[in-house]
Amino acid sequence: MTLRAIAHSLFEEAIALQSPSNIVRKSSETYEPHFSDSSRIFPVAIGKASVMMMDGLLNYLSNKHQSKIYKEPIVVSNPQVNNSNYDFKHIISSHPTPDDKSVAASKEILEYVSNSNANDLVVFLISGGGSSLLSLPADGIQLEDKISLTNLLLASGCNINEINTVRKHVSKIKGGRLNLAALPSKTISLIISDVINDDLSSIASGPTVADSSTFVDAINVLNKYNIFDKTPLSVREHLREGKDNSSYETPKAFSNNITEIISSNNVFKETLYTLARNKNFNVIKIDKPYENLAVDDAIKLFDHVNSIDNQNTILISGGETLVNLTGTGKGGRNQEFALSFLKKYINSKCKKDICLYSVGTDGIDGPTDAAGAIVDNETLNNYHKGDLDIDLYLSNNDSYSFFEKTKSLVKVGATGTNVADVQITIIR
């Protein structure tokens, strides 16, 4: 079996074990007393993993509590989703940039949960992508201005926590405001984390959890990346007003609200680690996440790989790197990571047989149809045959085209989950 086949097999096995449907169904057992004590149950799922998460919840509820489910449960997802065995209202929204569909989805969910009362239970199933799938700008801010802000943030080099800090303070649904709409009912949020530090208030911009960030923090993010003056006037005015008026601030505490992270990047890495050990490799799990520029973190990973003497080793790593968009090409952070790794590999004249498999766990890397890319002997052979200029592709942020030509793109389709990115690096 080739190294790329081994890496791909590990990834596919981990995806199956970390199926959101299975995880939610198992987690639901913990909350049986809450289901039993509630008059009605309001299931709501938001994010890239929402369909499979709802599938797991409805599978559990169908055994004992089917009659308690209020009307049609609501699922809001991106278009690339898996099928379900259950009936619910499925709203296709927009990602990564919000649009009118995001606004309509937000209003529909707010209306649904507002029908709950103190004897009811609202179950929120939340995963990454919710920040754009649900978008309801604060009063005075037009959707077009919110979109401009999102585009500025995505292109600035902000990390996901910083982006969400700003998003929460220009929204009527993020930063705990969705949970406010569900009060006085009890709420349970089961969360699949795509945020590296598992900050609950940052996952999908924390629509159901208390938020510790402030309007001042949001302004500071925009200033840090020198984009405050480029931000639409309506957004700047709202942030300034919020800074001076505490009634604008996001909720800082909730009672009768349970939240649990049921899967994360760390959990996925641990799953890969266990699977790799079963394949009789020496396995190293890198606990510290990669969350700096992809070009820099790729070099760090290569240096780590190059320092290892054992020639039968698998390194498991993960995170969510950043990309500075200076070119007009096509790609994603995993593809840029892989291309930067390849450049260092070639320049070092390393003789080791290495395979890097860097992918997004959701099956989507940037605005492409690839999950990520592979670097191995096949990549190297096609690189030399094509006489390609790596620096040219990197400077134009065109990693997709490079790996398409070297037959090293990873295409797996939507996986149904989203716990950021992972790298499987094999040395033989």
pLDDT surpassing 90 at residue 78: no
Q: What share of the chain is helix, strand, coil (3-state, %, to 5)?
A: 45, 15, 40
Structural domain contains residue 184: yes
Give the domain-ending residue among 263, 286, 302.
263
Instruction: Let me know whether 197 and 288 are in one domain.
Output: no
- List the single range of 197-206, 230-239, 369-378 with lowest mean pLDDT: 197-206
Residue 79, domain CATH? 3.40.50.10180
If one counts every other C-beta atom within 10 angstroms of the C-beta of residue 229, the result is 8
Instruction: Let me know whether 176 and 54 are in one domain.
Output: yes
pLDDT computed for residue 161 by the predictor: 81
What is 283-313 written as a DSSP string? Answer: EEE--S-B-SBHHHHHHHHHHHHHT---SSE
Are 315 and 303 in contact by the 8 Å Cβ rule? The answer is no
Please state the φ and ψ torsions of residue 6, each to the nearest 5 degrees.
-65, -45
pLDDT surpassing 80 at residue 253: yes
Confidence of residue 131 (pLDDT cuts 50, 70, 90): confident
pLDDT computed for residue 34 by the predictor: 98
Residue 406, domain CATH? 3.40.1480.10
State how far the Cα of 49 lies from the Cα of 170, in Å rounded to an integer. 25
pLDDT surpassing 80 at residue 419: yes
Which pair of structure tokens corresponds to residue 423? 């790298």
pLDDT surpassing 90 at residue 242: yes
Instruction: Let me know whether 236 and 293 are in one domain.
Output: no
Instruction: Let me know whether 211 and 79 are in one domain.
Output: yes
Cis link prior to 43 (omega < 30° from 0)?
Answer: no
pLDDT computed for residue 85 by the predictor: 84
Instruction: Let me know whether 108 and 53 are in one domain.
Output: yes
Can you tell me whether residue 72 is helix, strand or coil?
coil
Tens-place pLDDT, residues 193-224: 998 889 898 888 899 999 999 999 999 999 99
Contacts of 384 (CB under 8 A, 6+ apart): none
Instruction: Let me know whether 333 and 415 are in one domain.
Output: yes
Are 400 and 331 in contact by the 8 Å Cβ rule? The answer is yes
State how far the Cα of 251 lies from the Cα of 181, in Å rounded to an integer. 12
| 155 burial via Cβ count (<10 Å: 0-12, 13-18, 19+) | middle
Instruction: Let me know whether 142 and 115 are in one domain.
Output: yes
- Per-residue CA distances from 12 to 289, 306, 319, 378, 410 (Å): 21, 26, 18, 21, 12
pLDDT computed for residue 172 by the predictor: 96
Instruction: Let me know whether 207 and 196 are in one domain.
Output: yes
pLDDT computed for residue 403 by the predictor: 99
State how far the Cα of 33 lies from the Cα of 13, in Å rounded to an integer. 33
- List the single range of 21-25, 29-33, 152-156, 216-220 with lowest mean pLDDT: 152-156
- In percent, the amount of the chain with pLDDT more than 90 equals 86
Structural domain contains residue 3: no
pLDDT computed for residue 93 by the predictor: 96
**Element at 253 (helix H, strand E):** none
CA-wise closest residue to 112 among 55, 67, 74, 61: 74
Are 196 and 287 in contact by the 8 Å Cβ rule? The answer is no
Strand order in the sheet with 409-410: 282-285, 313-319, 421-427, 354-360, 372-375, 409-410
Report the b/e string of 15-25 with b at 16+ CB within 10 A.
Answer: beebbbbbbbb
Tens-place pLDDT, residues 339-348: 999 999 999 9
> Any bridge partners for residue 283, and if so which?
314
What's 107-155 look like in SS3?
A: HHHHHHHCCCCCCCEEEEEECCCHHHHCCCECCCCCHHHHHHHHHHHHH
Total structural domains in the chain? 2
Instruction: Let me know whether 287 and 420 are in one domain.
Output: yes
pTM for the predicted model, two decimal places: 0.86
Q: Residue range 350-359: average pLDDT?
A: 96
pLDDT surpassing 90 at residue 169: yes
State how far the Cα of 170 lies from the Cα of 238, in Å rounded to an integer. 7
pLDDT surpassing 80 at residue 81: no
- Per-residue CA distances from 101 to 42, 98, 152, 153 (Å): 22, 7, 20, 20
- In percent, the amount of the chain with pLDDT more than 70 equals 100
Instruction: Let me know whether 339 and 407 are in one domain.
Output: yes
Which pair of structure tokens corresponds to residue 349? 């004249």
pLDDT computed for residue 386 by the predictor: 94
**Residue 369 DSSP label:** S
Confidence of residue 51 (pLDDT cuts 50, 70, 90): very high
pLDDT computed for residue 129 by the predictor: 87
Question: Which residue segment(s) compose the domain that 385 sits in?
Answer: 266-427
CA-wise closest residue to 365 among 398, 410, 397: 410
Which amino acid does the sequence have at 223? Answer: N
pLDDT computed for residue 201 by the predictor: 84
State how far the Cα of 419 lies from the Cα of 224, in Å rounded to an integer. 27
Tens-place pLDDT, residues 280-324: 899 999 999 999 999 999 999 999 999 998 889 999 999 999 999
pLDDT computed for residue 311 by the predictor: 84
CA-wise closest residue to 333 among 380, 368, 382: 368
State how far the Cα of 227 lies from the Cα of 161, in Å rounded to an integer. 17
List of E strands, 220-353: 257-263, 282-285, 313-319
CA-wise closest residue to 322 among 71, 154, 129, 137: 154
pLDDT computed for residue 154 by the predictor: 84
What average pLDDT does the structure give for the chain? 95
Q: Residue range 267-280: average pLDDT?
A: 96
Can you tell me whether residue 280 is helix, strand or coil?
coil
Instruction: Let me know whether 253 and 273 are in one domain.
Output: no
pLDDT computed for residue 65 by the predictor: 98
Q: Residue range 121-149: average pLDDT?
A: 94
Give the domain-ending residue among 263, 278, 313.
263
Give the domain-ending residue among 228, 263, 298.
263
Instruction: Let me know whether 209 and 312 are in one domain.
Output: no
Can you tell me whether residue 428 is helix, strand or coil?
coil
Contacts of 344 (CB under 8 A, 6+ apart): 298, 299, 302, 303
pLDDT computed for residue 160 by the predictor: 76
